[in-house]
Structure 1
Amino acid sequence: MDRVVIVGAGPVGLTAAILLARRGVASLVLDRYAEPYPLPRAVHVDDEVVRILQAAGVAEEFLKVSRPGLGLRLLDARHRVMASFDRAPGGGPHGYPQANMFDQPDLERLLRARAAADPLIELVGGATVFAVDFPTVSYRLGSEVCAVPAAAVLGCDGANSTVRDLIGAHLVDLRFAERWLVVDGVCAEDLGAWGGVHQVCDPRRAATFMQLGPRRYRWEFRLLDGESDLDLDPLLAPWLGAVPVRIVRRAEYTFRANIASSWRSGRVFLLGDAAHQTPPFIGQGLGAGLRDAYNLAWKLAADLTTPGGAPDLLDSYERERAPHVRAQIRLAIVAGWAMTGGQDRAAAVRRLLLGSVWRLPGMKGLALRSTSPPLRGVGRGRRAGTLAPAVPDEALGDGWALLYTGAPPAADGHRLVHVTDELDPSGALRRWMRGRAVLLRPDRVVHSVR
């Protein structure tokens, strides 16, 4: 069996390679950069996404280099608290903190080390892919031109994806674009800040502030039309006081909402930013890409290892993931509007209403929600398409699993998992099951309830 060729060695590409290797599928990972990108980018994943890192074998180490996010505070232009949404300490229904703050290079180091230890994964840096004439992938490595056969191709090569261009897909604009200045810094001492995300709801200068690690912080400032190369001192002064800071990165970004017109051409697939881009207001950019990898890896492995393949599974990748991503992008746009107040003439009016809106019953749950929407078109029943609560991987295995509490149901070729006190000491899983047998897919998504 030929290897899967993965274009892009960021977190999405590396996670896809690791998840495929876990199922016995070899991959060649090609990245345009000779060395890992050293600067911070993504800073947040939720508890559902940490379960994906668990499947990739890096969750335990990830928790050592991340810190739980304590919630969200909305501030006015003078940094006075208008509303505060505090997370309860401890893990959520998936066994991990519901918000996890981190520095992306730390995560990439863990994934690269995990990939390097797996003989089924080969990583080649400094490789520029220029053609995908399936089943052949062509790339340049220095002055050498290489061509390799591929069982499938995964385009994990970012927002400016070469693979997306090569399959003739384009980005569909979902009508959101804002320019922001993003600043990462390491302070000489701890700022003593509250450990959640601070959102400044000022139409004139919306801003975000958060702590990523010991003495490590991020600031984001929305830019007005025509602004560029702003003086950082007055922007950072309200947060720093007299504490010196070393700037690790400053970059101007345009936060966009886009989705690819097609995520697939034959056996070539798009994942992560190659398939979609979202504004950062709910912290789901990287998480969406890791969900892509988790969704596709087991399906592709089943297709490659099953006589006759599994074309229906491959067809379901975009059908399941695209609506899910669209829903999260829409939520991010709405959250951005609610938290920043917008820039148009109605901003002042909305600003007056903002504090009252966020105090309405139920808004705390919305502000802190980490549960993602269910996948569409999965199995049968109301729970189909939802992610099951955490169950130890060693109990579930890598395939389909049928959870039950009473008499053993018909296995139908699935792994039977008896949920007992030993497996579920708190009883939370059995309360969720409600005495029914639940069939889980390999990605822990509910297929059906019996």
Structure 2
Amino acid sequence: MDPVVVAGAGPVGAAAAILLAQRGVPCLVLDRYAEPYPLPRAVHLDDEVVRILQELGIAEAFLRVSRPGLGLRLLDGRHRVMAEFRRDESAGPHGYPQANMFDQPDLERLLRARMAELPAIEFVGAAEVFAVDRPQTAPVVRYRNLADGREHAAPAAAVLGCDGANSTVRELIGARRVDLRFAERWLVVDGVCDEDLDAWGGVHQVCDPRRAATFMQLGPRRYRWEFRLFDHEPPVDADALLARWLGGVGVRIVRRAEYTFRAELAGRWRAGRVFLLGDAAHQTPPFIGQGLGAGLRDAYNLAWKLAADLATPGGAEALLDSYERERAPHVRAQIRLAKVAGWAMTGGQDRAAAVRRVVLGAVWRLPGLKGLALRSTSPPLRGVGRGRRAGTLCPQPRVVLDGREMWLDEALGPGWAILHTGVPPATLRDQLVAGARELHVTPALDPSGTLRRWLRGRTAVLRPDRVVHAVA
């Protein structure tokens, strides 16, 4: 079998390769850099996405290099608290804290180490993809060794474009960018302080139209600041902006960079055997912390489908077609939420901003808003199976199987599964994929009662990515 060629070895590309290799699919991973990018970028993953890291085999190691997020605090321009939403540090429905703060280089090192453990993955650094021939049927990826200039051709079973916002693969398949009408300039500063700052451990959002800002702690003495910049504003004094937060504490700047936060989708995510994932397919403003999470969801959604396609005589086109059909509306919904959150938290920069700030202070105190502000549950996927819960994720408690305690996903294995508290309906059993794992959920298997409360006497069919396919 020709390998799946993965262009880009960032978190999304590495995750896709690991998921495929664990299913027996050989992968060739190409990246411009031989080592992980050393500077911090993404800083947050929710519990649904940490569950994906569990599937990759690195969740426990990730928990050792991350810290639970404590919630969200909204401040006015004078740093007075307008509203505070505290998050429970205990595990959520998927077994992990609902917010997890981390430093991206730490995650990338874990992913690279996991790739090195899998013989089905070949990694080539200092490699630049410059062409994809015959993308519709039998792709051949052409890449250049940046060290010696030699060119190589790699026949591919499929090509995954995980090469970021300026994706070469996206350009090669002619996928245009769809502007979702959001662009803001921000200054992002990461630093290590000489001592712990006297600050609450959650995310601070300054809702000030004169200088909206975000502040968060990533780890021991590790902090991030983000400052909104006006259009056409000259360079700002970052030291002056930080001074208000530091209170005289010394800081070593790890990274200082200006970004334009955008909202965009690729016009199409697939051309034959070529697929786009992560920032190559979408970009979102950072206000709900779902940029990297969206890319890892892409990888999880596509990997099992591509593995099934390659294992099926004649392929499984319907499965491959469902990748963009499921993921694009999901990402669009999250981008829409991020834009609304950004508007609410930054207060805007026009003449109505002062009025909105007054309204905002009242709105944040509405009953029920705390749940919305802290909700980590992502929207259901559209067009998945049938039933009210179709397209949602099942919870993941600890279960006891054959006398051993484990996570539910470990008990289910890598394929399709069926959960029931009695006898599954014959009509539902007929829909099962051959080899699906069947679990009879009893009090002995489910000591916490989580699955039994969730099932409520029903039978649930789960896909390999733990998305509910059908309930009866």
TM-score by length of 1: 0.99
The CA distance in 1 between the partners of 2:26 and 2:34, in whole Å, is: 21
Between 417-426 and 46-55, the greater mean CA deviation after superposition? 417-426
The CA distance in 2 between the partners of 1:423 and 1:3, in whole Å, is: 39
Question: What displacement does 1:228 show?
Answer: 4.1
Give runs of aligned pairs for residues 7-22 of structure 1, distance below 5 A. 7-22=7-22
Between 206-215 and 184-193, the greater mean CA deviation after superposition? 184-193
2:249 counterpart (219, 243, 250): 243
2:277 maps to 1:271: yes
The CA distance in 2 between the partners of 1:192 and 1:437, in whole Å, is: 50
Corresponding residue of 2:220:
214
1:173 counterpart (174, 179, 198): 179
SS at match of 1:130: strand
The CA distance in 2 between the partners of 1:154 and 1:233, in whole Å, is: 41
Corresponding residue of 1:347:
353
Question: What displacement does 1:422 show?
Answer: 3.6
Give runs of aligned pairs for residues 33-432 of structure 1, distance below 5 A. 33-134=33-134, 135-141=139-145, 142-390=148-396, 392-407=408-423, 411=429, 412=432, 413=434, 414-432=436-454
Deviations 1:306-348 (A, max 9, x none): 1121110000000000000000000000000011101111111
The CA distance in 1 between the partners of 2:447 and 2:242, in whole Å, is: 48
Deviations 1:163-211 (A, max 9, x none): 0000000110000000000000000011132111000000000000000
Between 402-411 and 217-226, the greater mean CA deviation after superposition? 402-411
Question: What displacement does 1:428 show?
Answer: 1.4
The CA distance in 2 between the partners of 1:176 and 1:424, in whole Å, is: 46
The CA distance in 2 between the partners of 1:431 and 1:279, in whole Å, is: 36
CA contact (8 A) 2:69 2:89 kept: no
Between 75-84 and 421-430, the greater mean CA deviation after superposition? 421-430
The CA distance in 1 between the partners of 2:410 and 2:166, in whole Å, is: 39
SS at match of 2:41: coil
1:441 counterpart (451, 463, 467): 463
The CA distance in 1 between the partners of 2:38 and 2:107, in whole Å, is: 11
SS at match of 1:390: coil
Question: What displacement does 1:390 show?
Answer: 0.8
Between 150-159 and 422-431, the greater mean CA deviation after superposition? 422-431
The CA distance in 1 between the partners of 2:177 and 2:165, in whole Å, is: 9
Question: What displacement does 1:238 show?
Answer: 1.6
Deviations 1:384-430 (A, max 9, x none): 00011015222111110000112355554321111123432210111
SS at match of 1:417: strand
What amino acid is aligned across from residue 428 of structure 1 in structure 2? T
SS at match of 1:281: coil
Question: What displacement does 1:34 show?
Answer: 2.7
The CA distance in 2 between the partners of 1:393 and 1:443, in whole Å, is: 9
Q: What is the total number of aligned residue pairs between the two structures? A: 450
What amino acid is aligned across from residue 162 of structure 2 in structure 1? C
SS at match of 1:140: strand
Question: What displacement does 1:239 show?
Answer: 1.2
The CA distance in 1 between the partners of 2:239 and 2:106, in whole Å, is: 28
SS at match of 2:385: coil
SS at match of 1:280: coil
The CA distance in 2 between the partners of 1:288 and 1:358, in whole Å, is: 26
What amino acid is aligned across from residue 433 of structure 1 in structure 2? L
The CA distance in 2 between the partners of 1:308 and 1:425, in whole Å, is: 43
What amino acid is aligned across from residue 412 of structure 2 in structure 1? L
TM-score by length of 2: 0.94
The CA distance in 2 between the partners of 1:186 and 1:423, in whole Å, is: 46
The CA distance in 2 between the partners of 1:332 and 1:269, in whole Å, is: 25
The CA distance in 2 between the partners of 1:423 and 1:163, in whole Å, is: 46
Deviations 1:76-108 (A, max 9, x none): 001000000001220111110000000000000
The CA distance in 2 between the partners of 1:354 and 1:87, in whole Å, is: 21
The CA distance in 2 between the partners of 1:143 and 1:378, in whole Å, is: 46
